[in-house]
Chain A
Amino acid sequence: MKLTKSFDRSLWVFHVNAASCNGCDIEIVAALTPRYDVERFGIKLVGTPRHADVLLVTGPVNTQMADRVRRIYEQTPGPKAVLIIGNCGASSGVYYDSYCIQGPFDEFIKKVDPNAIIVYVPGCPIRPEAIIMGVVEAWKALEKLRGEA
């Protein structure tokens, strides 16, 4: 997969709430609004996965959302990155032994696409600065693809 030159200018993000507790979700909005203001870098929240470069996934994936998150991932055009926001996606967080959680989200997404670019932003909840950091990491990871054929 080779990226076009115009791709790395700004990343558009789509927010997927996969059974999150809202803590990370409000911090995502806080990152977009004036105090932290990621929109000045061209990072924009879009209304559909088909316009997005990066998926911001919050929460552990529960039974109801598993298939929907998979479909959203497939609808996102490549090259794409997944930002796992918060501890839940990386380890299921405090919900790790619940009956309705489909395992850590990174394992789940690797089953769907083994080559998925996954960036972790740990914290419960994360701080807005960490989200900005995460998007920069995703940007670097996507830039690396340019060297590959």
Chain B
Amino acid sequence: MAKAPPYPLMIGPIHPALKEPTMFKFTLEGERVLDADLQPGFNHRGIEYLGMKRNPLQVLHLTERVCGICSAAHQFVFTRAVEHAAVIQPTERADYLRVLIAELERIHSHLLWAGVAGHELGFDSVLYYTWKIREDVQDILEILTGNRVNHSYYIFGGVRRDVSDEGIAKARKILQGYKKLEDTVLNIFLSDPTIAHRTRDVGTLTYDNAIKLCACGPLTRGAGVKKDVRFSWPCAAYGDMKNDFKVVIPSDYGYPNKGDIFSQVVVRLHETFEAIRMCDWVLDNLPKGPITSEPNLSALLMAKLRMAEGEAVARVEAPRGEDIHYVRLKKGKMEIDSWKVRVPTYGNIMSWITMFKDAQIADIPIIIASIDPCIGCMDRVTVVDGDSGKEKVLGMDEIKRLADRRARGWK
């Protein structure tokens, strides 16, 4: 029989294995993946462009809609960036409440991922089980913020709503319920032979590659890299709690730091329960006081934000990894002068290429799902040539060349 030549396989933009539109081009030899390429841009909505046409208070609502899953993380980091630029100090109670919502979001996001990963393995019972228990954390979020998904909780100088004692009691009861489930959930995922068979030594990202490719979030921690902005660059209440918690890596829980999908399952599940303990810690240590340093919104907007001059970068650990926002404000200008979002998935997509090497076709969906991609977050940048109107993708050499030219003051 003649040897089949390498043949291409396109997956996407609409495909049952993808929850969001993006396109993959694989080069295959039989069942084996030789090479992989990614074509993003199907989810592009021009959010940064829209942000530069609106004032910071309006952009707050836009930041949530960068991604519906990690909406609180984007708002968290954006408020921090604007606070740095406009020199606004959040209150202490607000700092704690911000961390509470961010950690609750991490619980919901990681449980969501665990369900989707189970679905991609063809293990739908796991999907239904994890999404069933995920609804409980959605209940807490609804009690505390008033909405299930886009909470609009953060504002410059603090948060929008205070938590009542009744709300705290309800939240504690639900968190207590999660602690009882810890053994069951870990047992389902970590002792199951089907999951072990499909995830061990599949989609491996080595320690060196994780560092070389600037990956972030649970993906790198699965490879043993202790990279977590909550601990290395603590903000808000994270600084107060960093002695009680530590970065989750598989070797601390008796598993090798292999960087395969199984390691990521270990990291994400243990992080979920670590986040539950963090929420408990926040509720135990919640300081009293006002929830915002500037309750009058028009004073905040007209006096502080419009008159602010400066630029700032802020970083927060979103559920998927490090989220960075850059904001520049100009004095007398209502709109944001410049806004750049670097989302965790943007740092992680390059890891896909090495993870796909030598994988089987059947493993493609789980490898895609394993980095917990958020294409909605990522697809904000396309380079359009202004003269011809043609889109083009810039290579590293080209970007370097343009950067050099810019550094010399050319256009």
In the complex, chain A residues 10-40 whose Cβ is within 8 Å of any chain B Cβ: 16-27, 29-30, 33-35
Question: Which of B45, B62, B112, B134 is the one whose CB lies under 8 Å from A101?
Answer: B45
B44 cross-chain contacts in A, Cβ below 8 A:
19, 62-64, 100
CB distance from B36 to the nearest CB of A (A): 20
B157 cross-chain contacts in A, Cβ below 8 A:
none
Task: Give CA–CA (A48, B14) in the complex, Å.
Answer: 9
Task: Give CA–CA (A132, B361) in the complex, Å.
Answer: 35
Task: Give CA–CA (A47, B50) in the complex, Å.
Answer: 34
User: Does A4 sit within 8 A of B, measured CB to CB?
Assistant: no
User: Does B245 sit within 8 A of A, measured CB to CB?
Assistant: no
Given contact pairs A33-B127, A95-B45, A99-B46, A22 touches B21 in the complex (Cβ within 8 A): no
Is A25 a contact partner of B68 (Cβ separation < 8 A)? yes
In the complex, chain B residues 23-48 whose Cβ is within 8 Å of any chain A Cβ: 41-47
User: Does B71 sit within 8 A of A, measured CB to CB?
Assistant: yes
B112 cross-chain contacts in A, Cβ below 8 A:
26
Is B135 a contact partner of A35 (Cβ separation < 8 A)? yes
B149 cross-chain contacts in A, Cβ below 8 A:
23, 26-27, 125
B286 cross-chain contacts in A, Cβ below 8 A:
none
Interface residues of B, CB < 8 Å — how many? 39
Interface residues of A, CB < 8 Å — how many? 38
Task: Give CA–CA (A72, B16) in the complex, Å.
Answer: 13
Is A17 a contact partner of B21 (Cβ separation < 8 A)? yes
Given contact pairs A65-B21, A94-B62, A26 touches B69 in the complex (Cβ within 8 A): yes
B13 cross-chain contacts in A, Cβ below 8 A:
64-65, 68
Is B68 a contact partner of A21 (Cβ separation < 8 A)? yes
User: Does B242 sit within 8 A of A, measured CB to CB?
Assistant: no
CB distance from A136 to the nearest CB of B (A): 21
User: Does B150 sit within 8 A of A, measured CB to CB?
Assistant: yes
Is B49 a contact partner of A98 (Cβ separation < 8 A)? yes
In the complex, chain A residues 92-125 whose Cβ is within 8 Å of any chain B Cβ: 93-95, 97-101, 124-125
A68 cross-chain contacts in B, Cβ below 8 A:
13-14, 21, 42
In the complex, chain A residues 56-101 whose Cβ is within 8 Å of any chain B Cβ: 59-60, 62-65, 68, 72, 93-95, 97-101
The total of interchain contacts (Cβ-Cβ below 8 angstroms) comes to: 119
User: Does B231 sit within 8 A of A, measured CB to CB?
Assistant: no
B49 cross-chain contacts in A, Cβ below 8 A:
98-99
Task: Give CA–CA (A98, B62) in the complex, Å.
Answer: 12
Is A65 a contact partner of B42 (Cβ separation < 8 A)? yes
User: Does B87 sit within 8 A of A, measured CB to CB?
Assistant: no
Interface string of B140-152 (1 = CB under 8 A from A): 0000000011100
Task: Give CA–CA (A21, B20) in the complex, Å.
Answer: 9
B41 cross-chain contacts in A, Cβ below 8 A:
64
B50 cross-chain contacts in A, Cβ below 8 A:
94-95, 97-98
User: Does B53 sit within 8 A of A, measured CB to CB?
Assistant: yes
Is A125 a contact partner of B46 (Cβ separation < 8 A)? no
A124 cross-chain contacts in B, Cβ below 8 A:
65, 150
In the complex, chain B residues 271-321 whose Cβ is within 8 Å of any chain A Cβ: none
B47 cross-chain contacts in A, Cβ below 8 A:
95, 98
Task: Give CA–CA (A19, B157) in the complex, Å.
Answer: 32
User: Does B376 sit within 8 A of A, measured CB to CB?
Assistant: yes
Given contact pairs A17-B21, A48-B16, A95-B50, A34 touches B66 in the complex (Cβ within 8 A): no
Task: Give CA–CA (A131, B16) in the complex, Å.
Answer: 20
Task: Give CA–CA (A96, B42) in the complex, Å.
Answer: 17
Is A125 a contact partner of B131 (Cβ separation < 8 A)? no
CB distance from A115 to the nearest CB of B (A): 24
Is A22 a contact partner of B376 (Cβ separation < 8 A)? yes
CB distance from A58 to the nearest CB of B (A): 10
User: Does B61 sit within 8 A of A, measured CB to CB?
Assistant: yes
Is B21 a contact partner of A60 (Cβ separation < 8 A)? no
CB distance from A101 to the nearest CB of B (A): 7
Given contact pairs A62-B43, A97-B50, A101-B45, A33 touches B128 in the complex (Cβ within 8 A): yes
Given contact pairs A23-B149, A94-B62, A30 touches B21 in the complex (Cβ within 8 A): no
Task: Give CA–CA (A100, B139) in the complex, Å.
Answer: 35
Task: Give CA–CA (A63, B42) in the complex, Å.
Answer: 8
CB distance from A63 to the nearest CB of B (A): 8
Given contact pairs A22-B67, A23-B65, A17 touches B19 in the complex (Cβ within 8 A): yes
CB distance from B193 to the nearest CB of A (A): 24
Q: List 13 A-B pairs, Cβ < 8 Å.
A: A17-B14, A20-B43, A20-B68, A21-B65, A22-B68, A23-B150, A25-B19, A29-B131, A30-B134, A30-B138, A34-B131, A64-B21, A98-B45
- B residues with a Cβ closer than 8 A to A are 13-14, 16, 19-21, 41-47, 49-50, 53, 61-62, 65-69, 71, 112, 115, 127-128, 131-132, 134-135, 138, 148-150, 374, 376, 379
- Extra A-B contacts (8), CB below 8 Å, given A21-B67, A30-B131, A33-B135: A17-B20, A18-B21, A21-B45, A27-B149, A30-B134, A35-B131, A64-B21, A72-B14
